[in-house]
Amino acid sequence: MAQQCKPPVFTKVPCYLTGKLVLDTDRERIKQKIAQYLVEEKGYQIGDFQVDREILVESEGQKALAFVDLTVHIDGKSLMIVRGGPGSVVTRESGTVAAARLLEPEYIVPLAVQANLYDSSLLDVRKKKAIAYGWENIPSRSELLEMTLKDWPPPRLPKEREPAERQILWSYDTHG
């Protein structure tokens, strides 16, 4: 008689921002830790965040959803995104920049953060490069407003650039 495998048991934890129960995964632990840090240490308000925004990506007829863990959305403007994942933040920067360039159809989200439980990279999305490393270098709410609103609105992603950005995001989010 063949042995039957028991289904895995997933623990659920309350989301810091919504209070809803969510699966306790690596990505979720990072999202919860950084959300709490941004509110308690950097002056953000719980209402400043949109959680788990989706971006549809496609390659060779296959579709997948890429997620933006946190979007800092103040006064109707997406000013910064945060994506988390285990491992090196540097290796995931390109995927995070692509997500920030695709999330809003009318403009490029100006700043992005790629984080793990211990480190982060702050990314200038327009220039497609890291400008600082470490959680302590993530801008406070007031710093973010000052950094992003002086040049508002940011440029729109050129239509001819969209397929390349979607391919980058596809590669990072479907192949690790």
Q: What is the pTM of this model?
A: 0.92
Q: SS3 of 32, please?
A: helix
Q: Kindly report the length of the chain.
A: 176
What is the model's pLDDT at position 8?
A: 64
What is the model's pLDDT at position 4?
A: 64
What is the model's pLDDT at position 174?
A: 85
Q: SS3 of 31, please?
A: helix
Residues in the chain, pLDDT under 50: none
